Structure formats: C-alpha cells, structure tokens
Amino acid sequence: MTERHSGSGSAIAGERGPEQPPDRGGPPAEAAAAENSTHRHHWIRTPLLIVIAVVVVIAAVLFGSYALRGHPGPKSLSASTRQFRSTTTTSPTVRSFELPAAGVYRVTGHGTERISKPPNSQTDGPIMPVGITYLADGCWRWRIDYNTASWHEYDFCPQGGQLLLVAQRNYQSWDLGLTSVTNLGQYTCNPPSPIVVQAPVRGQTFAQRCTGTNTAVSGPSVAAGTVTVVGVQTLRIGGTPVRAVEMNRHQTISGAQHGILDESWWFATSTGLPLKTVRNYRLVTSSVIGDITYSDSGSWQLDSLTPHT
C-alpha cells in the first residue's frame, strides 16, 4: 500500500514537468515596455509644455506692451519758444524778399500718420508750433512740430527774384511697445525749386529734385517732380488780409523708398512765409517683414502773423 502511494506520487510529479521559477510579482514584458514608452512620452511632453508656456507668456508680454504703447502728444508753444531762445539766429540780410519775423508761430489743423507693419498711427496736435530762425546770407529755416514725435524743417534762400527751397529734413519716432523706431531724413535740393517768385504766373512750372538719406533704411532716396503756380489769392490770417501765392508740389520718390508726395502750399508773396498747407504722402519701404507702407495726410493754417519770442 505504501509503495503504491509512492509510485502514484512519482507519476504525478512527472506529468507536471520541470518546476517553474517562483513568481516574484514583476509585470510582464509587454507591460514593462508600455510603461517605459509612457515615461518617454512624459519626458518629451513636459519640456514641450514648458516651451509652449514660455512662448505664450512672451507673446502676451509683447502684445500687452504693444497694446499699451504710448502715443505722442502735441508739442507746446512754450516748449518751442524755449527751444527758439536757445538757438543762435544770425543777423538778417535783406535781399529781394522781406524776411519773415523770427520766432514761434501758432498754427491749427489736423492730420494722421500711419504705418502698415506693425499697424500703428499717430495724430497731429490740434495746435502746432512753427519756428523761424535766420541763417547766413539772408536764408532762413522753417520748422513745424506736428507732435512730440514728428517734425519737418525746410531751408529757404533768396536768389535774384526768387525764394528757393534748398534743403529739407524730417524726423519721426514710432513707439512699438517694447521697442521704438526712429528715422531722420535729410535732403538737399538741386536744382532748388522756387516757392515764391516776384511775378507769379498761373500755370508756371518749375522742376525740383531733392536727394538724401533716411537713417531707418539703407541707400539714397530721390524726390523729383514739379512745383506749379496755382494762382494768387488773399488769405485772412488772424483777421489780417495777406496776399498769398498757392504752389502745388508733386513729387515721385524712388530709390530706398518709393511713393508719391502731393502738397499745396500758400506762401506770403512779400516774405515767403508759409500760411497754409494741405498734404498727402504715400511711401513704401522694403523690409524683412515685407513692404511697409507709410501714409500721411493733413492740413493746417497760420493763426497769427505775430510770433512768440
């Protein structure tokens, strides 16, 4: 009986085959591979999410600074008067035309300047100071501050029976949020164009060509076109009638920039003092972000013939 039980036990053991290694509680190979893959995905996803978050924060800061960017205000007459007093004005030399009185004049008007990329705009002040200072040889400089970030200057010189535009400069500053862009354009005119002639004839046309550079773009720019006598009329400036000649300046810009400048000016026939202006500009500049279009339109008129000094 005992032996039979023993043989029976041996037969059962042979049917079970070799013993299996003990189960240590570890995951199967497939589960381990899946877990490793999940860890790799987590390792990739975490820095990616961090990069996305940083980009979002930077974009938010840039957008916020751009949305909250400053806008230039008008330049005050008192600030321009202080600036005028600090300049050196040479003794005037009387030539064919009387010299307009030196000092700071008040003009009123409106205007808007725009750039297309990034979209931005700024407006002229409702009151704009105009300064006149004397240069050598009977020449004089005329400057208008459209606002605290934009001004134009023109140099006029008498020659024979004409008052000529010999040079011009313009300055602008654009607040783009975290940064700003400025530009100073400086041009000399050859041949200089008459802005006033002693005997203006309606339809009379003069050639004009001004060449110069802008600090915001590389290479020279050329403004070439005509100046045409539109006619003579009387304007009332501060209640005083003034004989004025209307001149239209039409110029095509080429070179580092291209576009059109169209202006109508009214000048006092006795001095060449600018009394009124209507302007329309459109300039295109190539850049790494594509063509940037600058447009400018506006008008103003002198309020008084008596300047602040």
Residue ranges covered by each domain of the chain: 70-302
pLDDT value for 7: 43
Q: Residue 178 — pLDDT band, cuts 50, 70, 90?
A: confident
Q: Residue 80 — pLDDT band, cuts 50, 70, 90?
A: low
Q: Greater confidence, 296 or 53?
A: 296
pLDDT value for 48: 53
Q: Is the pLDDT of residue 142 over 70?
A: yes
Count of residues making up the chain: 309
**What burial letters (b/e) apply to 21-37, b meaning 16+ CB within 10 Å?**
eeeeeeeeeeeeeeeee
Please give the C-alpha separations between residue 10 and each of 1, 6, 14, 66, 201, in angstroms, as whole numbers. Answer: 15, 6, 6, 89, 135
| Helix or strand holding residue 246 (H, E) | strand 240-255
